[in-house]
Chains A and B, each alone.
Chain A
Amino acid sequence: MEFANKIVQATEEIFGTMIFLDISPEQPLAVGKEVLDCHVSAMIGLSGDFSAMLSVHCAKPTSLAITGAMLGMEVEEIDADVKDALGEISNMLAGYLKDAFAEEDVALELSIPTAISGKSVTISSSPTKSNRVIIPFNLEQGRFFVEMKFSLG
């Protein structure tokens, strides 16, 4: 299963086609416990030939920039629109991955996306020891992260 490249391709296509913000991916996180300075996270489940949870984690400035670009207006606080916008990004990412895996005869179904906000998000287990891929992306306003936790069993 190749997740990292698919996630990068999906994220770049979505941001290039519908959000119109320049992003650049970094290498997937490869170290253990890291506190990501994030304040809002959106997630969506995938189930079928494997199970996965795809999440988008953003710090406040990044989440406001992304939401503002999607809505075409200035956004000043993390509110329902911000959670909705990030939820829709997670939905499009999952849809892209569903189609990409379908081309490899891997069938998946999507759940309804959801989003939460808080002070920070802690990523507490090592990506190298668990079935988890975390890819940072750079925006002018800071970094955001796309995470995929999966079970192949």
Chain B
Amino acid sequence: MGKTVLIVDDSNTMRKIVSRALRQAGLDFDQILEAGDGQEALASLADNSVDVVLSDINMPNMNGLEFLKAKSEDPAIMDIPVVMISTETGADIIDEAKSYGAKGAVKKPFTPDLINDTLGPLL
């Protein structure tokens, strides 16, 4: 059965760039789902079988940290690995993200190799 990734970012452009970077990194997902904020991401996780999540932090409505916290409190989805992909990768923010279960972080701007190095071991 193929793998499914959920890309969470309020920027449609960045979601497209991340999708392209996944292909360039050789990470061929059968299904790429998209969400524009944390609320949409939670809804997508409830409706789909997702193997890994790539999430921005700085988003309106529900930001990436709020999404992680909510996800960590739901037993049905709490074990799905999440990698943060954001301009915000300071130690304090990443420590908070990891406290809610984030498995790693990729800083924008990024290369496909960096995506592969961070995401590959989780698949």
B60 touches A92 (CB 8 A): no
Closest B residue to A72 using CB positions: B20
Query: Is B40 engaged at the interface, CB distance under 8 Å to the other chain?
Result: no
Q: Which residues of B contact A150 (CB under 8 A)?
A: none
Closest B residue to A18 using CB positions: B109
Query: Taking A87-B11, A110-B88, A112-B58 as contacts, is the C-beta distance between A95 and B108 under 8 angstroms?
Result: yes
Main secondary structure of the interface of A (DSSP, over half): helix
B111 touches A17 (CB 8 A): yes
Query: Taking A17-B109, A18-B108 as contacts, is the C-beta distance between A81 and B13 under 8 angstroms?
Result: yes
B1-48, CB < 8 A from A: 10-14, 16-17, 20
Chain A interface residue count, Cβ-Cβ cutoff 8 angstroms: 24
Query: Is B86 engaged at the interface, CB distance under 8 Å to the other chain?
Result: yes
* Residue in A72, A88, A95 whose CB lies within 8 Å of B11: A88
Q: Which residues of B contact A18 (CB under 8 A)?
A: 17, 108-110
A70 touches B17 (CB 8 A): yes
A104 to chain B, nearest CB (A): 14
A150 to B59, CA, bound (A): 24
A70 touches B13 (CB 8 A): yes
A40 to chain B, nearest CB (A): 13
A96 to B90, CA, bound (A): 11
Query: Is B87 engaged at the interface, CB distance under 8 Å to the other chain?
Result: yes
A99 to B89, CA, bound (A): 8
Query: Taking A13-B109, A17-B109, A18-B108 as contacts, is the C-beta distance between A71 and B16 under 8 angstroms?
Result: yes
Closest A residue to B111 using CB positions: A17
A54-85, CB < 8 A from B: 67, 70-72, 80-81, 84-85
A110 to B64, CA, bound (A): 14
A98 touches B58 (CB 8 A): no
Query: Is A102 engaged at the interface, CB distance under 8 Å to the other chain?
Result: yes
The contact string, 1 if C-beta is below 8 Å from chain B, for chain A 13-46, is 1100110000000000000000000000000000
Query: Is A91 engaged at the interface, CB distance under 8 Å to the other chain?
Result: yes
Query: Taking A95-B87, A96-B87, A98-B87 as contacts, is the C-beta distance between A14 and B109 under 8 angstroms?
Result: yes
B residues adjacent to A (C-beta < 8 A): 10-14, 16-17, 20, 58-60, 86-90, 107-111
Extra 6 A-B pairs, beta carbons < 8 Å, given A71-B13, A92-B108, A96-B87 = A13-B109, A14-B109, A71-B17, A72-B20, A110-B87, A112-B10
A residues adjacent to B (C-beta < 8 A): 13-14, 17-18, 67, 70-72, 80-81, 84-85, 87-88, 91-92, 94-96, 98-99, 102, 110, 112
5 A-B pairs with C-beta separation under 8 A: A70-B13, A85-B11, A91-B58, A99-B89, A110-B58
